Every structure is written in structure tokens, then in C-alpha cells.
Amino acid sequence: MNLFNNNERRIGPKVGKENITSTNQNNFKPKLYEDRINFNRMKMYRLNRVKDQLLKNDIGACILFDPINIRYATDTRNMSIFSFHLMTRYVFIAANGPVILFEYPNCEHIHKNNCTIDQVREVISWDHFSWGNNVYDKALEWSKIIDDLMKQYSSGNNNLAIDVCDPAGINALNNNYNYKITNAQKFLEIARSIKSEDEIICMKASVKTAEKGILLMYENLEAGMTEEELWSILHKTNIENGGEWFETRLLNSGPKTNPWFQECSNKIIQKGEIVAFDTDMVGPYGYCADISRTFVEGRKLGDYQKKIHSLAYENVKYNEQLIKPEVSFREFAEKAWQLPDNCFDNHYPCQIHGVGMSDEWPFIPYPDKDYSNGDYSGKFEENMVVCVESYIGEEGGSEGAKLEDQYLVTKEGLELLSSIPLDKI
């Protein structure tokens, strides 16, 4: 469905708006946090969290392909987005042995003096882009290398965990060797869920970077600019302050805000329209700032806009009070704020989710009658970082409101990591 007329779209950049208005946060530099971060301590904490999960679950070794998992376990990154869709790098981690990084050709020098890496080898890949009709031969070659590593470093344990791997690689292992392959993602998600002191500082730097960009967006929002022009302000702020990339492009205006989950476009923002966005920003040090706000062009909500924004605000503030260590996910879901009936079919997929280097476990959905639509068996723990989400969009409504805040779970309850008020309009 076309939600805006052709005269409400623009191709190419807007002429004349060359300078972005400054904010009082322009003196913020994420590097100021670096004196408080012990990077080697953080690296070893994360690697040991992974190894502890392998040992607890009787796994001899794991192979990680997901760039975020590799970053967590080794603190190495190299062309992350590229390696999301091609097998350009992976890491072998023995529970009681070395960490061997398989890196893109001629990139081994990048990782000198990294305390988490024992050895760097050139990658053996088998994607069609690189190898064409030789894919299966290369997958067989890769499986032989893995077999050699398992015999050397996990000779008494044939349990091997892999996070993501295409069928050619899995089949090469299954058809030629006797390993019990299990999904490594569970172990990585659990490892990543409890943050160290150094990780928390990294996350605060990322959130502050996002908020610098959000305030610039707030100050520069005006009718006549496109959604993409407004969104680009956050991207620029992230990159110039040491940030990395974005998981989504979720910024919408006017009728595109209901239902949610349309990405930004060259739609021109009109006078008085709501503008809602979700940062999903991987910022400095590889940590995610996941904050949602709903602004309005002209900074004055209409009656209907005020109604939906107030409901979203109430939703977040109510649910944040329920979270503390030892509270089960089931108990939270039972006590959580109830969506209005005319908003339920448009609800956001979850009420709470974890966050670290990306959106992470836990994920607590709106429950069905018998709680069979998710895993409610866990509990909140100290030093988890979680996001409380709300989307209010009535069925058939003209606009919707999206709000979200990011918190650290402490002994006393929640510490709010984001400082821009939910009701900053």
C-alpha cells in the first residue's frame, strides 16, 4: 500500500540545509570513557564466559561464524557486515585449549597482541561467491581441518557446538566424521547476558553517543525534510564518535508509524506529523544502544497523538517497576501492563529483551493464554542489561507511538542508562 503521494517523496538530497544544528552534548566524546575501561580484563572475562558455558555443557569445542559472537569471544572485528553473508572468518575455541581465529586472506596482521587469540590462520571458506562449483570440495577441506583440531584439542570429547553454518559445511562434518553437533547460540546468549563492569561502561558510552545523535535529530526535525535525512543525523553522529553500524532503519513519520516496522524512506515529513524511531545502533566498542522515542514536527502533540504517546509512556513506566533480580520471566509477564484491546493486534513482538552487542536473550513476548508462545522459565539477574519496549498503535489508527528505554539490572532494581526523557516531544 502506498502510504504517501508522489508529491510527498523526494529523490536525492535536499539542497540548502548544509549545517546540522549543534547541541549542548557536542563536547561529549566516547573516548573519555576509555580511561575507565580495562580492555584486556574485559576481553578475558568474555572469553572465559564462553569457555565456562562449554565446560558446563560438556562441549569439547565451538566454532563461531556470527560476527557478533566472534567479537564477543575474541574482541576481533573485520568487515563485519560483509562477513554476515559470506563465510570470510570464524573462530575455533577449545574448552580446554587454544583460540584459533581463521581470518580473511592477508588480514592476519590485524590481530597482533590480542590477549584472546592464540593463533591466526588464513580462512578456508566454501561460499559460492569465492569458489563457485568448488564449494563442496572446499567444505570437505574445511571439515578435515576441524577434525584435526578436534583430535588435537578435544580428543576425549566429540561434542562440537556451531552457531551458524551452511548445509555444505554441516554435511561435510556429518558425512565424514563422528561428531555430535549442537547449536552454540544458546551458550553464547547465556554467556553474553551477564555484563562485566567494563562492558557496562562501554554500553554507557554507546548510549551517550546515541543520545547525542537523538538530540541533534530533535533540534533539526522540521517539515520538508525526508525521513532519511533525519535518520542520517544519527548515523553521522555514531560514525564520527567511534560507532560501527545499525541493525535496522526504523524511523517513520505520519501514517507510516501505524502499523510499526516500516523502515525510513524518502517520504517528506509533513507539518504536525509524529516521527517515531528505534535506534538499534551498534556504537563505540561494539555495544548496542537500543532506545526508541516519538517526537512530533512542530513539538506540539495533537489530542490523538497525546493519547497514544501517553499510553506508551505509561506502558514503559509501569513495566520497569516490575523488574529486579530473581523475578521470573513468567511472573513479570503475568503482572505486566495490559495493552488496550484495540492495540493488541498491532503490539510489538516483545515486552522486554536483553541487549549487549546486539539485541540478546532474554526475549519476553506478550503471552498467549497458556504461555506456550515463548520461554518464560528464566529469571532476571544482576548485571543483565534489558530494554523495556512499548508500541501503541490502534487498529486502523492514523499514527502510532514507539517508546523504549535501556536499563542495567542491579541489586536494588533498575538503573536507567538512557537520559533523554520518554516524554521529550
Predicted confidence band at 112 (pLDDT cuts at 50, 70, 90)? confident
Domain boundary among 161, 192, 223: 192
Cell triple for 166:
551452511
The answer to whether 314 touches 321, Cβ cutoff 8 Å, is: no
Q: Is the pLDDT of residue 18 over 70?
A: no
Q: What is the DSSP letter of 325?
A: T
Same domain assignment for residues 225 and 374: yes
Residue 23 lies in a domain: no
| Span 364-390, average pLDDT | 95
Beta-strand ranges (E) seen in 281-421 are 281-282, 288-289, 292-296, 350-355, 359-365, 385-392, 401-409, 414-416
Q: Say how far apart CA 355 and CA 351 lie, in whole Å.
A: 13
* Buried b or exposed e, range 284-315, using 16+ CB within 10 angstroms: bbbbbbbbbbbbbbeeebeeebeebbebbbeb
In whole angstroms, what is the distance from residue 221 CA to residue 215 CA? 10
Same domain flag for 198 and 188: no
Identify whether residues 204 and 246 lie together within a single domain: yes
Cα gap 23→250, rounded to integer Å: 23
DSSP string, 107-166: -GGGGTT-TT-SEEEE-----HHHHGGGHHHHHHHHHHHHHHHHHHH-TT--EEEESS--
Q: Give residue 31's pLDDT band: very low, low, confident or very high (50, 70, 90).
A: low
pLDDT for 59 beyond 60: yes
Which residues constitute the domain of residue 94?
34-192
The CATH number of the domain holding residue 326 is 3.90.230.10
Beta bridge partners of 181: 160
- Say what the pTM is: 0.91
Query: Is 1 domain-assigned?
Result: no
The total number of structural domains in the chain stands at 2
Over the stretch 159-188, which tens digit does the pLDDT of each residue have? 999 999 999 999 999 999 999 999 999 999
Q: What CATH number should be reported for the domain holding residue 54?
A: 3.40.350.10
Nearest by Cα to 74 from 42, 34, 109, 107: 42
Q: Confidence band (pLDDT; 50, 70, 90) for 35? A: confident
Read off the amino acid at residue 112.
Answer: K
- Per the CB < 8 A criterion, the answer to whether 405 and 421 are in contact is no
Q: What are the φ/ψ torsions at residue 261 (nearest 5 degrees)?
A: 80, 25
Does 306 reside within a domain? Answer: yes
Cell of 4: 504517501
Check whether residue 257 and residue 397 sit in a common domain: yes
Rounded to 10°, the helix 227-240/197-220 angle is: 140
DSSP category for residue 366: P
pLDDT at 6: 39
The whole-number average pLDDT for the span 367-389 is 95
